Chains A and B, each alone.
Chain A
Amino acid sequence: MAGVQINQLHKKFGDVPVLKGVDLEIADGEFVSFLGPSGCGKTTLLRSIAGLERIDAGAVTLGARDITTLQPAKRDIAMVFQNYALYPHMSVYKNLSFGLSLNGVPRREIEERVQNAARILQITELLKRRPKQLSGGQRQRVAIGRAIVRDPKLFLLDEPLSNLDAGLRVTMRVELANLHKRLGVTMIYVTHDQVEAMTLSNRVVVLDKGKVAQFGTPLELFYAPENLFVAGFIGSPKMNFLKVDARTVGARQIEISGQSLGLPITVDMRSELKESSAGQHTLGVRPDNIEFVSEADAHVHGQVVLVERLGTESQVHLTLDDGQQFTVITRGTHPVVANDRVHLRFPAQHCHIFNPEGEAIPRALDAETRSLIDRQKGSQQATGSGEDQ
Chain B
Amino acid sequence: MGTNPDSAAQRSRTLEKLTPYLFISPWILGFLAFTLGPLLFSLVMSFYDWPVVGERTFIGIENYEIMLTQDPLFWDSLWVTIKFGLFFVPFNIILGLLLAVLLNQRVIGSGIFRTIFYLPSVISGVALVTIWAWIYSHEYGILNFLLGLAGIEGPNWLGDPSWSLLAIVVASLWGLGGTMLILLTGLQSIPKELYEAAKISGVPAWARLLFITIPMLSPMLLFTFITSIIAAFQQLTIALLLTGGGPLESTYFFAMYIYDNAFKHFEMGFAAANSWVMFLIILALSLFVMKSSSAWVYYEGEMKNKENADG
Q: Residues of A with Cβ closer than 8 Å to B?
A: 50-52, 71-74, 77-79, 81, 83, 85, 87-89, 98-100, 102-103, 129-130, 132-135, 137-138, 146, 150
For the complex, what is the distance from the CA of A146 to the CA of B200, rounded to whole Å? 11
Q: Which of A78, A89, A130, A133 contacts B216 (CB 8 A)?
A: A89
What are 26 A-B pairs at a CB distance below 8 A?
Answer: A50-B200, A71-B199, A73-B199, A81-B193, A87-B197, A87-B211, A88-B216, A88-B298, A98-B201, A99-B203, A102-B201, A102-B202, A102-B203, A102-B207, A103-B201, A103-B202, A129-B307, A130-B303, A132-B309, A133-B303, A133-B309, A134-B311, A135-B309, A135-B311, A138-B311, A146-B197
Given contacts A89-B216, A102-B204, contact A132 B302 (CB under 8 A): yes
Interface membership of B126, Cβ < 8 A: no
Question: What chain B residues lie within 8 Å of A85 (beta carbons)?
Answer: 191, 193-194, 196-197
Q: Which of B191, B193, B203, B311 contacts A98 (CB 8 A)?
A: B203
Question: What chain B residues lie within 8 Å of A99 (beta carbons)?
Answer: 198, 200-203
Question: What chain B residues lie within 8 Å of A100 (beta carbons)?
Answer: 201
For the complex, what is the distance from the CA of A305 to the CA of B303, rounded to whole Å? 53
Q: Which of A73, A88, A132, A133 contacts B200 (CB 8 A)?
A: A73
For the complex, what is the distance from the CA of A51 to the CA of B196, rounded to whole Å? 10
For the complex, what is the distance from the CA of A389 to the CA of B298, rounded to whole Å? 47
A88 to chain B, nearest CB (A): 6
For the complex, what is the distance from the CA of A88 to the CA of B191, rounded to whole Å? 11
Q: Considering only CB atoms, which chain A residue lies closest to B300 in the complex? A: A88
Q: Which interface residue of B197, B199, B309, B310 has the most chain A CB atoms within 10 A?
A: B197
Interface membership of B308, Cβ < 8 A: yes
Query: Which 7 interchain pairs have the tightest Cβ spacing?
Result: A99-B201, A73-B202, A135-B311, A85-B193, A89-B298, A85-B197, A89-B215
Whether A73 and B197, one on each chain, are in contact in the complex, defined by CB atoms closer than 8 angstroms, is no
Given contacts A85-B191, A88-B298, A135-B309, contact A52 B303 (CB under 8 A): no
Question: What chain B residues lie within 8 Å of A138 (beta carbons)?
Answer: 309, 311
Whether B308 and A133, one on each chain, are in contact in the complex, defined by CB atoms closer than 8 angstroms, is yes
Question: What chain B residues lie within 8 Å of A87 (beta carbons)?
Answer: 194, 197, 211-212
Whether A79 and B307, one on each chain, are in contact in the complex, defined by CB atoms closer than 8 angstroms, is no
Question: What chain B residues lie within 8 Å of A88 (beta carbons)?
Answer: 216, 298, 300
Q: Which of B191, B199, B212 contacts A52 (CB 8 A)?
A: B199
For the complex, what is the distance from the CA of A73 to the CA of B212, rounded to whole Å? 17
For the complex, what is the distance from the CA of A74 to the CA of B202, rounded to whole Å? 7
For the complex, what is the distance from the CA of A74 to the CA of B191, rounded to whole Å? 23
Whether B309 and A134, one on each chain, are in contact in the complex, defined by CB atoms closer than 8 angstroms, is yes
A152 to chain B, nearest CB (A): 9
- A sample of 20 more A-B contacts (CB under 8 A), given A134-B309, A138-B311, is A50-B200, A52-B200, A72-B199, A73-B200, A81-B197, A83-B191, A87-B212, A89-B215, A89-B218, A102-B202, A102-B203, A102-B207, A103-B202, A130-B303, A132-B309, A133-B308, A133-B309, A134-B311, A135-B309, A135-B310
Q: Considering only CB atoms, which chain B residue lies closest to A147 in the complex? A: B200
For the complex, what is the distance from the CA of A71 to the CA of B200, rounded to whole Å? 8
Q: Considering only CB atoms, which chain B residue lies closest to A104 in the complex? A: B202
For the complex, what is the distance from the CA of A79 to the CA of B194, rounded to whole Å? 12
For the complex, what is the distance from the CA of A129 to the CA of B311, rounded to whole Å? 13
B50 to chain A, nearest CB (A): 51
Question: What chain A residues lie within 8 Å of B200 (beta carbons)?
Answer: 50-52, 72-73, 77-79, 99
For the complex, what is the distance from the CA of A51 to the CA of B200, rounded to whole Å? 8
Q: Which of B194, B201, B211, B218 contacts A73 (CB 8 A)?
A: B201
For the complex, what is the distance from the CA of A130 to the CA of B308, rounded to whole Å? 10
Question: What chain A residues lie within 8 Å of B202 (beta carbons)?
Answer: 73-74, 99, 102-103
Q: Which interface residue of A81, A85, A150 has the most chain B CB atoms within 10 A?
A: A85
Q: Considering only CB atoms, which chain A residue lies closest to B302 in the complex? A: A132
B243 to chain A, nearest CB (A): 43
Q: Considering only CB atoms, which chain B residue lies closest to A158 in the complex? A: B193
Q: Which interface residue of B200, B203, B215, B309 has the most chain A CB atoms within 10 A?
A: B200
Question: What chain B residues lie within 8 Å of A134 (beta carbons)?
Answer: 309, 311
Whether B201 and A146, one on each chain, are in contact in the complex, defined by CB atoms closer than 8 angstroms, is yes
Q: Considering only CB atoms, which chain A residue lies closest to B199 in the complex? A: A72
For the complex, what is the distance from the CA of A293 to the CA of B307, rounded to whole Å? 64
Q: Which interface residue of B203, B216, B309 has the most chain A CB atoms within 10 A?
A: B309
B309 to chain A, nearest CB (A): 5
Question: What chain A residues lie within 8 Å of B203 (beta carbons)?
Answer: 73, 98-99, 102
A255 to chain B, nearest CB (A): 55
For the complex, what is the distance from the CA of A25 to the CA of B198, rounded to whole Å? 28
For the complex, what is the distance from the CA of A254 to the CA of B168, rounded to whole Å? 91
CB 8 Å contact bits of B195-235 with A (1 = contact, 0 = none): 01111111110010001100110100000000000000000
For the complex, what is the distance from the CA of A287 to the CA of B25, rounded to whole Å? 66
Q: Which of A71, A133, A150 contacts B307 (CB 8 A)?
A: A133
CB 8 Å contact bits of B60-86 with A (1 = contact, 0 = none): 000000000000000000000000000
For the complex, what is the distance from the CA of A226 to the CA of B136, rounded to whole Å? 77
For the complex, what is the distance from the CA of A136 to the CA of B201, rounded to whole Å? 22
Question: What chain A residues lie within 8 Å of B194 (beta carbons)?
Answer: 85, 87
B298 to chain A, nearest CB (A): 4
For the complex, what is the distance from the CA of A87 to the CA of B194, rounded to whole Å? 7
For the complex, what is the distance from the CA of A134 to the CA of B308, rounded to whole Å? 8
Q: Considering only CB atoms, which chain A residue lies closest to B311 in the complex? A: A135
CB 8 Å contact bits of B293-311 with A (1 = contact, 0 = none): 0000010101100011111
A102 to chain B, nearest CB (A): 5
Question: What chain B residues lie within 8 Å of A89 (beta carbons)?
Answer: 215-216, 218, 298
A136 to chain B, nearest CB (A): 8
For the complex, what is the distance from the CA of A135 to the CA of B201, rounded to whole Å? 24
Question: What chain A residues lie within 8 Å of B309 (beta carbons)?
Answer: 132-135, 138
CB 8 Å contact bits of B176-204 with A (1 = contact, 0 = none): 00000000000000010110111111111
Given contacts A83-B193, A85-B191, A102-B207, contact A137 B311 (CB under 8 A): yes
Whether A52 and B196, one on each chain, are in contact in the complex, defined by CB atoms closer than 8 angstroms, is yes
For the complex, what is the distance from the CA of A100 to the CA of B201, rounded to whole Å? 7
For the complex, what is the distance from the CA of A306 to the CA of B308, rounded to whole Å? 47
A159 to chain B, nearest CB (A): 12
B220 to chain A, nearest CB (A): 14
A127 to chain B, nearest CB (A): 13
B295 to chain A, nearest CB (A): 13
For the complex, what is the distance from the CA of A108 to the CA of B204, rounded to whole Å? 22
Q: Considering only CB atoms, which chain A residue lies closest to B307 in the complex? A: A133
